[in-house]
């Protein structure tokens, strides 16, 4: 990869499609969406869309509701398909065959398939991560092998045309990486400057001790039990 920007003048428009479904975490979708929206402003030949099964307001896991711009049928061949995550509603969506079918069918026509946080569990439940390395939110990395994936503890993981990001804010890092791959490092650095992405968390770097020690395992299991209470077979598969 070079640091120069490819010339998109002879290429068709590349559509970056973000999946919206009820109950997701807004930052999982809005963070990388903002990155790609900046790319579309800087470089001709890119556009961002938000796809859902219906065009109607959908709740998130905050007071904010979001509305898709298109249905899956309206965007048949996106260049990239990005699936955000969340907590209980996302875990429950692992049993939503309608959503999983749309993910499978759209992913089959996409050059890049990606996820943020527990969105990778939806890719996994759709059968799209079998035999691949992947990551997800640290609370649920241990579920990936139940779907035939190999969990990796990294900010983002690429395996072939599939790229998965770790929890929530990692989606911004993954999106900047993809912008660099699509449009060159110089453009990616400009996007990073424009969105002023230069993290300085007030309490310093994360101390991963509690996560590594399994301190939050009971909480993670409680959420999983709640999400899949109506799907005992899937719950048993993931917890046995």
Mean pLDDT value across residues 145-149 = 98
DSSP readout, 214-237? TTTHHHHHHHHHHHTTT-HHHHHH
Distance CA 42, CA 87 (A): 34
Q: How confident is residue 12, by pLDDT bands cut at 50, 70 and 90?
A: confident
For strands 150-151 and 133-134, give the pairing. Answer: parallel
Q: Which residues are catalytic?
A: 117
Give mean pLDDT, residues 104-114: 97
Is pLDDT at 2 greater than 80 in this prediction? no
pLDDT in tens, 47-80: 999 999 999 999 999 999 999 999 999 998 999 9
pLDDT in tens, 112-140: 999 999 999 999 999 999 999 999 999 99
pTM above the 0.85 mark? yes
Domain range 14-199, CATH architecture: 3-Layer(aba) Sandwich (3.40)
- The DSSP-derived string for the chain is --SSPP--TTSPPEEEEEE--TTB-HHHHHHHHHHHHHHHHHSTTEEEEEEESSSS-EEBSSS-EE--SEEGGG-SS-SEEEE---SHHHHHHTT-HHHHHHHHHHHTT-SEEEEETTHHHHHHHTT-STTSEE---GGGGGGGGGGT-EE--SSEEEETTEEEE-STTHHHHHHHHHHHHHH-HHHHHHHHHHTT-----TT-S--THHHHTTTTHHHHHHHHHHHTTT-HHHHHHHH-
Task: Please give the share of the chain, as a percent, with pLDDT higher than 70.
Answer: 95
Which sequence spans correspond to the domains of the chain?
14-199
Residues sharing a CB contact under 8 Å with residue 212, sequence separation 6 or more, in sequence order: none
Asked if the model's pLDDT at residue 5 lies above 50, the reply is: no
The span from the CA of 80 to the CA of 86, in Å, is: 20
pLDDT 10s digits, 198-214: 999 999 999 988 888 78
- Could you tell me the CA-to-CA distances from 73 to 13, 52, 152 in Å, in that order? 18, 9, 33
């Amino acid at each position: 990869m070079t640091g120069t920007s490819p010339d998109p003048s002879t290429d068709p428009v590349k559509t970056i499609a973000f999946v919206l479904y009820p109950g997701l975490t807004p930052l999982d979708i809005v963070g990388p969406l903002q990155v790609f929206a900046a790319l579309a402003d800087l470089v001709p030949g890119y556009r961002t869309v938000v796809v859902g099964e219906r065009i109607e307001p959908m709740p998130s896991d905050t007071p904010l509701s979001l509305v898709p711009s298109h249905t899956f049928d309206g965007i048949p061949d996106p260049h990239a398909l990005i699936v955000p995550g969340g907590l209980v509603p996302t875990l429950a969506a692992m049993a939503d065959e309608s959503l999983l079918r749309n993910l499978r069918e759209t992913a089959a026509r996409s050059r890049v398939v990606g996820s943020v946080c527990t969105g990778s569990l939806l890719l996994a439940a759709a059968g799209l991560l079998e035999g691949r390395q992947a990551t997800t939110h640290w609370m649920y990395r241990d579920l990936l092998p139940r779907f035939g994936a190999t969990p990796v503890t990294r900010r983002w993981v690429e395996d072939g045309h599939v790229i998965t990001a770790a929890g929530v804010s990692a989606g911004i890092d993954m999106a900047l990486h993809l912008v660099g791959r699509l449009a060159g490092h110089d453009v990616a650095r400009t996007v990073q400057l424009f969105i002023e992405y230069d993290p300085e968390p007030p309490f310093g770097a994360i101390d991963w001790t509690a996560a590594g020690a399994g301190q939050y395992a009971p909480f993670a299991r409680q959420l999983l039990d709640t999400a899949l209470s109506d799907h005992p077979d899937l719950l048993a598969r993931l917890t046995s």
